[in-house]
Amino acid sequence: MKHFLRLTDLSKDELYEIIDLAIDVKKKPISNRMGGKTLGLLFEKPSTRTRVSFEAGFYQMGGNCVVITPQTSQISRGETIEDTAKVLSRYLDMTAIRTFNHERIEQFAGNASIPVINALTDLTHPCQLLADMMTIVEKKGKRFDSMKIAYFGDGNNMANTWIEAASIFGFHLSVATPQDFAPNAAILHQAMAYSGNKNNIEITDNPREAAKDADLLYTDVWNSMNQKESNEKIINLKNYQVSQELAKLAKPDFLFMHCLPAHIGQEVSESIYKGKHSVIYQEAENRLHTQKALMLKLIELNLQED
């Protein structure tokens, strides 16, 4: 069974095919491909974009969705993830899961006989990256090899996923984060190996260095859903805000992106967030198109495996 738990579960060519298909689907929506199919949405954390875009997207393609939360299922009463996966596989055709520990989704996928999609874990958020890559292609074309992407702030699930993306697509990624909030060491190690140690991924504690000549400035919240609000963290990260001052160092036609939701005034200044370089709503819209393309691609890949 082909799942999408990490960006590296698909090849570079397959990821490009998804982006191309998403661009087609955006122009000419598909209305009937999921007729008679049911998508499960097992969400153990809040979500606006991911859950609604999966649900709307699957309905738009003719299918039905079931939203499952711990409170409305036996998960809150301790039913094992193994049994949950085995039972849900008998009702559903595909499932997207948002959870805490990444091992939990791996365990679910290991026991499922339907494709499983990572709708965010504490470790990675690959669906977001699909929409981010599509937005870059729409705005700048596919010239990834010569592109510099700079990520600022917490070394969280988004930073980890950007590292995976850089290892696949080969662009120059500079992650600016204080040493105490560095991205996941295992992901970094795997990414270096995956990219053939091309030295295209750089971790720095100097945000100005990261911003210099960047094509894209990217940031995310300083306290993620798995973390308690921490003032200490905010103080430590204050020099990593994407601000006009930092943006002056980037290329004149730089893009600003953020997975959202945002804390304006923390990780990004209001003028950058609302300014002319910001493509945040196009990026959010592209969640819908890329996830449709991803689901179509997963069905195709799993039919080939049968």
Interface ranges with ligand NVA (CB under 6 A): 120, 156-158, 220-221, 224-225, 259
- Which residues touch 250 (CB under 8 Å, ≥6 apart)? 150, 211, 212, 213, 214, 215, 217
Q: Which one, 6 or 172, has the nearer CB to ligand CP?
A: 6
Q: Of 6, 287, 289, 291, which one is the catalytic site residue?
A: 287
Cα 209 to Cα 212: distance, rounded to the nearest angstrom: 5
Q: Which one, 226 or 302, has the nearer CB to ligand NVA?
A: 226
Taking the complex as a whole, the smallest distance from the CB of residue 245 to ligand CP amounts, in Å, to 26
Q: Which one, 156 or 200, has the nearer CB to ligand CP?
A: 156
Annotation says 143 is catalytic: no
Partner whose footprint covers residue 177, from ligand NVA, ligand CP, none (CB < 5 to 8 Å by kind): none
Element spanning 39, H or E? strand 38-43
Partner whose footprint covers residue 48, from ligand CP, ligand NVA, none (CB < 5 to 8 Å by kind): ligand CP
Annotation says 259 is catalytic: yes
- Which residues touch 63 (CB under 8 Å, ≥6 apart)? 34, 35, 36, 37, 38, 39, 93
Using the 8-state DSSP alphabet, how is residue 201 labeled? E
Cα 54 to Cα 52: distance, rounded to the nearest angstrom: 5
Cα 290 to Cα 269: distance, rounded to the nearest angstrom: 28
Taking the complex as a whole, the smallest distance from the CB of residue 155 to ligand CP amounts, in Å, to 17
Q: What does the binding site for ligand CP look like in residue numbers (CB under 6 A)?
A: 47-50, 120, 128, 259-260
Look at the block and give the residue holding tokens 């596919």.
142
Partner whose footprint covers residue 269, from ligand NVA, ligand CP, none (CB < 5 to 8 Å by kind): none
Sheet strand arrangement including 64-68: 64-68, 38-43, 94-98, 116-118
Taking the complex as a whole, the smallest distance from the CB of residue 284 to ligand CP amounts, in Å, to 7
Annotation says 90 is catalytic: no
Taking the complex as a whole, the smallest distance from the CB of residue 123 to ligand NVA amounts, in Å, to 10
Taking the complex as a whole, the smallest distance from the CB of residue 122 to ligand CP amounts, in Å, to 13
Q: Which one, 89 or 158, has the nearer CB to ligand CP?
A: 158
Token digits for 197?
A: 């140690």
Annotation says 65 is catalytic: no
Phi and psi based region of residue 5 (left: phi greater than 0; alpha: psi -120 to 50; beta: remaining)? alpha
Token digits for 223?
A: 């306290």
The residue nearest ligand NVA at its CB is 224
Partner whose footprint covers residue 156, from ligand CP, ligand NVA, none (CB < 5 to 8 Å by kind): ligand NVA
Q: Of 125, 172, 258, 289, which one is the catalytic site residue?
A: 125
Q: Of 3, 6, 51, 98, which one is the catalytic site residue?
A: 98
Q: Of 3, 259, 289, 291, which one is the catalytic site residue?
A: 259
Q: What angle, rounded to 10 degrees, do the helices at 157-169 and 185-194 form? A: 10
**For the chain, where are the alpha helices, taking DSSP H only?**
12-27, 49-60, 81-88, 102-111, 126-140, 157-169, 185-194, 207-211, 231-237, 244-247, 270-273, 280-305
Partner whose footprint covers residue 250, from ligand NVA, ligand CP, none (CB < 5 to 8 Å by kind): none
Q: Of 51, 122, 128, 132, which one is the catalytic site residue?
A: 128
Active-site annotation, residues: 98, 125, 128, 220, 259, 287
